[in-house]
């Protein structure tokens, strides 16, 4: 039989990991990036002010400061309230404000370049060069953010130099084009390196916390999640212990590959049957365990019964005559979160043993006493 892939696709988990780490890196670098950017902006603005005291300069200066303030506010919001909004919002907001910052810097070339002496022209020119180089480090984790800043600032510089006329400015424009191409390459390489490091970290973390065969949590990570999540719940706590019946004959008769496929199908059944906030693990061999936060023990019993029915339907290609696979389930239940993992697991194991003693392929529920 075929089961829906309710189990989180590793690629989906990986994409979420990349998104989370990208945001953490962007916003982690944000204070230094924003302060450094504002410092350069104020130096350039103050220097130009000594040459040109105009309304356009005042508006430009206020716009630059406001974008810096908005970026700081966005950083503060992410740091303290990031769970209230989606990752997409935080990423797009960062990109948009970075784009605005690049435009403000680049537009200085069009507003003030013609009226400034050479040394002040160079100040604008090299200010943008320096900020773009810095952005290849602070923004490259999200290559689109880096490109938005670089192209919005640098293309305005290039077009202004091209329109200014004269061989000197044309040469500067050509040099700036080569600079942009080099920075684009550097940004891509930085981005590739960072994403590769994220992938390595994710892979090592995933292998340390998941069973390699069935892609469920392993024993230690299951216990860790129990200890983390149980104090946060306001519901009863149920641990479901499942041990397959007659699993050894599958390995002996059809081979270990068939046995492995059976274990994977059982894992799919468990994840399909449980809710997204439940946790499930393979303890080893043909033993599985799940943790559910529910107040109604009858609901837990219904879930367990459905699991047994689905396991009975597992078929073996080329061996349809074999119908002996089933499971025994023991459930330990406590009415609130004031219970230890070792207590629940011990009682659930005992309940599972009772299910086997009473004929297998059934569910036994035991309540954990407060004084156990």
- Out of 174, 208, 242, pick the residue that ends a domain: 208
Residues 50 and 161 in one domain: yes
CA separation for the pair 315, 71 (Å, rounded): 58
Residue where one domain finishes, among candidates 208, 242, 257: 208
Q: How confident is the model at residue 10 (pLDDT cuts 50, 70, 90)?
A: low
Q: Identify the burial level of 357 via C-beta atoms within 10 angstroms of its C-beta, where 0-12 means exposed, 13-18 middle and 19 or more buried.
A: exposed
pLDDT over threshold 50, residue 337? yes
First to last CA, the chain: 42
Q: Which two tokens stand for residue 300?
A: 């837990």
Distance separating alpha carbons of residues 135 and 126, to the nearest angstrom: 14
Q: Tell me the percentage of the chain whose pLDDT exceeds 70.
A: 95
3-state secondary structure of 187: helix
Last residue of a domain, one of 156, 177, 208: 208
Say whether both 27 and 150 belong to one domain.
yes
Element (H, E) at 132: helix 118-138
In this structure, the answer to whether residues 16 and 159 fall within a common structural domain is yes
Which residues span the domain enclosing 348?
A: 219-367
Instruction: Tell me if residue 105 falls in helix, strand or coil.
Output: helix
* Predicted confidence band of residue 318 (pLDDT cuts 50, 70, 90): low
pLDDT at 328: 96
Helix (H, G, I), strand (E, B) or coil at 73: helix
Better pLDDT: 72 or 370 = 72
Mean pLDDT of the chain: 91
**What percent of the chain clears pLDDT 90, i.e. is strictly above it?**
78
Q: What are 142-184's pLDDT values in tens digits? A: 999 999 999 999 999 999 999 988 899 999 999 999 999 999 9
**pLDDT of 7:** 47
Quick one: pLDDT at residue 2?
33
- pLDDT of 300 > 80? The answer is yes
pLDDT-derived band at 213, boundaries 50, 70, 90: very high
Rounded CA separation 207/242 (Å): 23
For residue 279, give the nearest of 290, 269, 268, 265 by alpha carbon: 290
Question: Do residues 113 and 33 both lie within one domain?
Answer: yes
Residues 97 and 200 in one domain: yes
> Which tokens belong to 125?
């020119």
pTM of the predicted protein model: 0.75
| pLDDT at position 370 | 64
Give the closest residue to 125 by CA, choosing from 107, 101, 109. 109
Instruction: Measure the CA–CA gap between 33 and 29, rounded to whole angstroms.
Output: 6
Q: Are residues 176 and 255 in the same domain?
A: no
Q: How many CA atoms lie within 13 A of 348 on its CB side?
A: 26
Domain CATH code at residue 319:
3.30.70.270
Tell me the pLDDT band of 317, cut-offs 50, 70 and 90.
Answer: low
What tens digit of pLDDT does each residue of 220-265 get? Answer: 999 999 999 999 888 999 999 999 998 888 888 788 888 899 999 9
DSSP state letter for 369: P
Interval 269-297 mean pLDDT: 93
Q: Tell me what the mean pLDDT of segment 17-39 comes to.
A: 93
Q: Is residue 213 part of a domain?
A: no
């Amino acid at each position: 039989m075929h089961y829906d892939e309710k189990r989180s696709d590793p690629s989906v988990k990986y994409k979420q990991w990349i998104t989370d780490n990208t945001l953490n890196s962007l916003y982690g670098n944000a204070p230094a990036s924003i302060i450094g950017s504002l410092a350069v902006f104020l130096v350039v603005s103050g220097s130009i002010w000594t040459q040109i005291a105009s309304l356009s300069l005042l508006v430009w200066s206020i716009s630059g400061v406001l974008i810096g303030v908005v970026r700081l506010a966005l950083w503060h919001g992410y740091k303290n309230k990031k769970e209230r909004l989606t990752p997409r919002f935080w990423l797009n907001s960062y990109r948009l404000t970075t784009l605005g910052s690049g435009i403000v810097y680049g537009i200085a070339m069009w507003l003030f370049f013609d009226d400034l002496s050479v040394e002040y022209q160079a100040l604008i020119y090299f200010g943008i060069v320096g900020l773009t180089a810095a952005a290849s480090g602070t923004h490259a984790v999200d290559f689109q953010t880096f490109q938005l800043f670089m192209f919005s600032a640098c293309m305005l510089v290039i077009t202004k130099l091209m329109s200014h006329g004269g061989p000197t400015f044309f040469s500067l424009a050509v040099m700036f084009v080569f600079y942009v191409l080099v920075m684009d390459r550097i940004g891509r390489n930085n981005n590739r390196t960072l994403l590769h490091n994220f992938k390595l970290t994710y892979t090592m973390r995933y292998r340390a916390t998941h069973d390699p065969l069935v892609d469920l949590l392993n024993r230690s990570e299951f216990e860790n999640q129990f200890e983390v999540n149980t104090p946060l719940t306001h519901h009863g706590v149920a641990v479901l212990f499942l041990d397959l019946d007659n699993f050894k004959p599958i390995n002996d008769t059809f081979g270990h590959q068939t046995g492995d496929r059976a274990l994977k199908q059982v894992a799919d059944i468990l994840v399909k049957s449980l809710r997204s906030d439940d946790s499930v693990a393979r303890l080893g061999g043909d033993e599985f365990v799940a943790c559910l936060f529910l107040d109604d023990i009858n609901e837990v019993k219904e879930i367990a019964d459905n699991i047994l029915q689905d396991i009975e339907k597992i078929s073996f290609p080329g061996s349809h005559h074999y119908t002996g696979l089933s499971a025994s389930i023991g459930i330990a239940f406590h009415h609130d979160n004031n219970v230890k993992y070792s207590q629940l697991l011990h009682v659930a194991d005992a309940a599972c043993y009772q299910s086997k003693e009473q004929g297998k392929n059934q569910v036994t529920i035991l309540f954990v006493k407060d004084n156990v």
